[in-house]
Structures are given as C-alpha cells and as structure tokens.
Structure 1
Amino acid sequence: MKVLVIGASGRVGSDLVEKLLADNHQVIGTTRQDQQLFDADNYSQLNLDITAEKDDIQKQLADDIDAVYFVAGSGGKDVLEVDLHGAVKTMQAVQDKGIKRYIMLSTVFSLDTSKWGNPAIADLKDYYIGKHYADEWLVNDSTLNYTLVQAGALKEQVGTGKITVNSDKAGENAIADVAATLVAVLDADSASKKVFHIQNGETPIKEAIASL
C-alpha cells in the first residue's frame, strides 16, 4: 500500500514508519524537520504543515494514497491548533481527496468524559478536550473508514508483541507495541469503524485485533 504517516518523526511515528517499511509498504512521512528521516527506497518525505488551511493540506496529498495515519501531537503546546483543529483538517482533506482509510492514534478514554476525574487525566485536561472533539469528528462526522486506537501512557519499554484491549484501567503501553498495533489494523476488517483502547497485556496483537 501507499501510506501517509502524519507525524513520522515522533516516538510512535518513527517506530510505525520502520515497521511499515519492513512490510514493504510505500511510505510518505510528514515532518517539519529538514533532514531525511529514513534511508529506504520505499520512503519519501513531505513537509506538511497541519496548521495550514485545509485546502493547502489537501493540495499536498498524492492522489494514489491508500491509507493515512495520524500520529502527530503538539506535546502540550498549541493543543487546539494541532491536536484538535490540525487533526480535523487532515480528516477533511483526506475525505475530500477521496481517500477512505484513516487511522488515528489517540489517548485512553478520550471519548469517555466520565473517566476524566482521574488525577493523571485531570492534569492533561486541555489535551483531553482537544482529543475528545477531534475523535468525535472522526467517528460521528466523517465518512472515513476509520480506526481509532486509544493508548495509555507511552513508555520506552521493550515491546512484547502482546496487548490488552478495552480494559477499565488506563494502563501503560510500550511504544513498540503501539506501533505494531497500528500496523496490524491497517488492513484488518475487524478494525474497520472501530474505537478501542490498548495497554500492555498478554494477548498477541494480531489475535487481539481479530477479536474486535
């Protein structure tokens, strides 16, 4: 597949691109950095500014893209501009371009405001509000064939290739396993139009995705 990864230079994004390249997908990574992130024949790079107007974003998208990942993040800065407005503009641009498949990395309980009393979430309230409404737009207002993967706390841990899906607890995630989960949902029918959250667990990733 020809896959666009928005946020290729991030912690999850870089792992995701490496895995997609290893699976022989043709990958376009977006970053604001000048240097080429990956040296591979099946990799190219795009300086895509998601704070630009929607039409400007859309003009930069190739006509033959099969799927789009959104794994970008503001890092707590410009939350509304990046995590909310920027994300929604990419959804709108992708949809208007006629691209159907859109995979979003989000955060645990982004759509369940009843869980936001947790102190760890309360400290990230602005971020959660931005993610909430971006995710709402994807699920309720877009016509995209979406998958919304909500991860718990991202940790620099050794990946196990195993996860737990839809636990009542927020949990932690090895970054490598988040990236592997994002790869696994790419062409999984079971992940079509699905929202689920993941954390470190005991179920092999492909088995967990097949059970959605």
Structure 2
Amino acid sequence: MKILVIGASGRVGTELVKQLLADEHQVIGTTRQKEVLFDDANYSQLDLDITAEKDAIQDQMDKDIDAVYFVAGSGGKDVLEVDLHGAVKTIQATQDKGIKRYIMLSAAFSLDTSKWNSPGIANLKEYYICKHYADQWLVNNSTLDYTIVQPGALKECAGTGKIAIDESAGENSIEDVATTLAAVLTADNTIKQAFNMHNGDIDINEAVATV
C-alpha cells in the first residue's frame, strides 16, 4: 500500500515508518527536517506544513495514496495550530482528495471528558481540548474510514508486542503504539472505531481483533 505518515520524524512516527517499511509498504513521510529520515527504496519524504492553508496541504498529497496516518504533535507548542486546526485540515484534505482510510493517533479518553479530572489529564487540559475536538471532527464531520488510537502516557522503553485495549488508563511503550497503529491499517473491524490502549499481556494483533 501507498501510505502517507504525517509526522514521520516524531517519536511514534519514526517507529511507525519503520514498521510500515518492514511490512513492505510504500511510505511517504512528512517532516520539516531537511535530512532524509530513512534510507529505503520504498521511502520518500515531503516537507508538509500542516499550519498552511488546507488547499496547500491537499495539493501536496498524491491521489493514489491508500491511507493517511496523523501522528504529528505540537509537543506543547502551538497546540491550536497543530493538534486541532492542523489535524482537521489534514482530515479535510484527505477527504477532498478522495482518500478513504485515515488513522489518527490521539490520547487516552480524548472523547470522554468525564475522565479529564485525573491529574495526568488535568495537567494537559489545552492539549486534550484540541485532541477532543479534532477527534470529534473526524467522527462527526467526515465520511472517512477512520480509526482513532488512544494511548496513555508514552514511554521510551522496549516494546513487548503485547497490549491491553480497555477503558482503564496506563503507560505505553512507543514501539508498541507504533505496532498497534500498523496493525489497524488492514483491520477492517477497527474502521469507525476509537479505542484506548496501554501496556498489557495480549498479543497486539489479537487485541486489535477484539476492537
């Protein structure tokens, strides 16, 4: 498949591109960095500015893309421009380009505001508000075949290849989040679904099959 990864130079994006290339997909990674991120014949790179106008974003997207991943993040800076407005513009551009599959990396309980009083979320309230409304736009204002993956805190630790998908919160290996994102690509049962995930003891493919 030909896949666009928006945010390929981020912590999750880097691991995701590695997974997709290992699965022999053709990957276009977006980054504002000048250096090429991956030395692979199936990888190409795009300097895509998601703070630009929607039409400018859309013009840079190939028509024959099979799926779009949004794994970009503001890192706490320009959360409105990146995590909300930037995300929504990529949703709009994807739909207007005629691409159907869109996979969003979000955050645990992004759509469930009743859980936002926990300290881990309360300290990230502006970020969560942005993720909430970007996800709401994807669900309610698009016709895309979306999947929203909602991990808790991201940790730079070795992946185990095992996760849990449920309504509780927990930490996540970045590698396992990337593997989960790669797994949902061809898992039709995850279309039009959003799910929380964290470190667990169920094989990732088995867990994804239960969504």
TM-score > 0.5, shorter chain as reference: yes
Matches of 2:166 and 2:129, distance apart in 1: 20
CA deviations over 1:81-108 (Å, ceiling 9, x no partner): 0000000000000000000000000000
Aligned to 1:51: 51
Match of 2:74 in 1: 74
1:160: which partner in 2? 160
CA distance in 2, matches of 1:117, 1:61: 39
The aligned counterpart of 2:196 is 197
Aligned residues: 211
Q: Within 5 Å, which residues of 2 pair with 1:1-212?
A: 1-168=1-168, 170-212=169-211
Cα distance in structure 2, aligned partners of 1:78 and 1:42: 32
TM-score of the aligned structures, taking structure 1 as reference length: 0.99
The amino acid of 2:16's aligned partner reads L
Aligned partner of 1:195: which letter?
A
Instruction: Using the TM superposition, give the Cα deviation of residue 40 of structure 1 relative to its aligned residue in structure 2, in angstroms.
Output: 0.3
- SS of 1:107's partner is coil
Cα distance between partner residues in 2 of 1:141 and 1:11 = 29
Give the letter for the 2:32 counterpart. R
Q: Which runs of 5+ in 2 are unaligned?
A: none
Query: Counterpart of 1:50 in 2: which secondary structure?
Result: coil
Structure 1 runs of 4+ with >2 Å offset: none
| TM-score for both structures, normalised by structure 2 | 0.99
Structure 1 residue 120: Cα displacement: 1.3
- Deviation digits for residues 40-88 of structure 1, max 9, x if unmatched? 0000000000000000000000011000000000000000000000000
Deviations 1:91-133 (A, max 9, x none): 0000000000000000001110001101111110000000000
Identical pairs, percent: 72
